[in-house]
Chain A
Amino acid sequence: MSDSPKTVSETKRRHRLLPRLAIPVALALLAIGLAGCFKVSSDAQALRDCMMKSAAGEWEEEIEVGVGAFTLNLARAGLAFVDLDPEARTILNAVRGAEVGVYRLPKQRRKLDHAAMLAKADKAMANRGWDRVVGVINQSEFVAVYVPNEVRSTRDVKVCVVVLNGREMVVASARSNLAPLMEMAFSRAGWRQAGRSL
């Protein structure tokens, strides 16, 4: 059985249309991906999700922003012609990517169980190969900082942070080259200031 001439021409047209559509779609996806506009990364997402689950309630997203390598390179290129503070330029050059999400829990009668939230966040992040290096709980405040347990280079260090203040939660993650940041920290005059006490 042979196809009718109409069906054959439709098939040919589709075959010609597909590559034409695929190229711009692929380019758009690549640009979006490089720009980091796919909101927060999967690690930050896992942290956010387990925090939200532990504090059972209806969380509202206020903002989710991701800045990837492409956007940062564009910013660097644009700011190359601007007279920028050297420290700000150092930071801009060091950061490889950053994401922030801010969420709010509008209705919550029960007090949040920070201890349980911390335990669940630890478990979720440990399953993904992250260790908690700092955990702080004080009244309505909660901070946990995670780093991957397989970091070997100072040039690309990733970190995930969750900060809870009352009913507001911020989940952030950043990738950065540590070397220039540390050099900046060590060379700051305030670092050696006498009288500073910890």
Chain B
Amino acid sequence: MNHLIRNALGLALLSAAISTSAYAGNSSPGYLDFGKFSPPSSGGEFVEVHIKNNLISMVARLAEKEEPEVAELLRGLQLVHVNVIGLNDENRAEMEKRVKKIRSELDAQGWERVVTAQKNDEDVSIYVKTRGEEAVEGIVVTVLGSKGEAVLVNIVGDIKPEKIAVIGERFNIDPLKKIGQAVEKK
């Protein structure tokens, strides 16, 4: 019980530190609506994170003094949306179909596919929406993973490619490092 209370309060404070909202995301060219996902009825994994721009800019202001580089990257962001859905026999086919549909929509809307990786059971695609040669307006990561989960990430904003790698390196967050490297190579 104490553990639960601690977790709840910890989450409350942590979320206060990383959340809030005012919206600019869905009118941006870098925004993609993945649609609504339901948690697997068999009780499989389901994670949804949706952080909008006024929280992001709030955290950027707070990070200014200690982490100016991270603050600069955060200032450019409008939305971070992450979905992780556990795959099982019941939803695997449907999720694969939806991810393929999302990828074909991205292709049709002029997004550039910067990473395609298929190894064993893992299928990863990373797309970027660019504005000229200087800025990335949106990043979409789609993963049909070997660990039995589908991952969809949409980052919207005015993103400088080299800054993505910076935050990936600084915080040792592997997916961001890979996205940063992929976008820089482009």
Whole-angstrom distance between the Cβ of B49 and the nearest chain A Cβ: 5
Q: Verify A159–B4 contact, CB threshold 8 A.
A: no
**A178-B47 contact in complex given A168-B4, A198-B171, C-beta closer than 8 Å:** no
Interface 0/1 of A85-105, CB less than 8 Å to B: 000000000000010101000
Q: Does A13 contact B (CB under 8 A)?
A: no
Whole-angstrom distance between the Cβ of B37 and the nearest chain A Cβ: 10
Interface 0/1 of B1-37, CB less than 8 Å to A: 1001101110111011111111000000000000000
Q: Verify A133–B12 contact, CB threshold 8 A.
A: no
Partner-binding segment picked from B58-66, B93-101, B117-125: B58-66
Whole-angstrom distance between the Cβ of A62 and the nearest chain B Cβ: 7
**A140-B43 contact in complex given A149-B21, A173-B12, A195-B172, C-beta closer than 8 Å:** yes
Chain A interface, DSSP helix/strand/loop, else mixed: strand
Contacts A113-B41, A134-B47, A182-B63 known; 5 new A-B pairs at CB < 8 A: A100-B8, A137-B43, A137-B46, A162-B8, A186-B65
Interface bin, chain A: 35 or more
Q: Does B48 contact A (CB under 8 A)?
A: yes
Q: Verify B54–A152 contact, CB threshold 8 A.
A: yes
Q: Which residues of B sit under 8 angstroms from A100, Cβ to Cβ?
A: 5, 8-9
Q: Does B150 contact A (CB under 8 A)?
A: no
Q: Does B38 contact A (CB under 8 A)?
A: yes
Q: Does B55 contact A (CB under 8 A)?
A: yes
Tell me the complex Cα distance, A113–B46, Å: 13
Whole-angstrom distance between the Cβ of A61 and the nearest chain B Cβ: 13
Whole-angstrom distance between the Cβ of B40 and the nearest chain A Cβ: 8
Q: Does A115 contact B (CB under 8 A)?
A: yes
How many A-B pairs with Cβ below 8 Å? Answer: 160
Q: Which residues of B sit under 8 angstroms from A113, Cβ to Cβ?
A: 41
Interface on A for B, CB 8 Å cutoff?
62, 98, 100, 102, 111, 113-115, 118, 131-140, 143, 145, 147-152, 154, 157-163, 165, 168, 170-174, 176, 178-179, 181-183, 185-187, 192, 194-198
> Which of these, B13, B16, B51, B62, contacts A183 with CB under 8 Å?
B62
Tell me the complex Cα distance, A194–B171, Å: 8
Interface on B for A, CB 8 Å cutoff?
1, 4-5, 7-9, 11-13, 15-22, 38-39, 41, 43-52, 54-55, 58-59, 61-63, 65-67, 86, 170-175
22 contacts between A and B (CB under 8 A): A100-B8, A102-B1, A114-B43, A115-B46, A133-B18, A133-B50, A134-B19, A137-B43, A148-B20, A159-B15, A160-B12, A163-B11, A168-B1, A172-B5, A176-B13, A178-B62, A181-B17, A183-B62, A186-B66, A186-B67, A196-B171, A198-B172
Q: Verify B48–A134 contact, CB threshold 8 A.
A: yes
Q: Which residues of A sit under 8 angstroms from B175, Cβ to Cβ?
A: 198
Whole-angstrom distance between the Cβ of B24 and the nearest chain A Cβ: 13
Tell me the complex Cα distance, A81–B12, Å: 29
Whole-angstrom distance between the Cβ of A36 and the nearest chain B Cβ: 15
Tell me the complex Cα distance, A114–B41, Å: 8
Whole-angstrom distance between the Cβ of A41 and the nearest chain B Cβ: 13
Q: Verify B172–A197 contact, CB threshold 8 A.
A: yes
Q: Verify A147–B62 contact, CB threshold 8 A.
A: no
Q: Verify A139–B43 contact, CB threshold 8 A.
A: yes
Q: Verify A147–B46 contact, CB threshold 8 A.
A: no
Tell me the complex Cα distance, A198–B177, Å: 11
Q: Verify A147–B20 contact, CB threshold 8 A.
A: yes
Whole-angstrom distance between the Cβ of B174 and the nearest chain A Cβ: 6
> Which of these, B4, B7, B12, B58, contacts A174 with CB under 8 Å?
B12
Q: Verify A159–B170 contact, CB threshold 8 A.
A: no
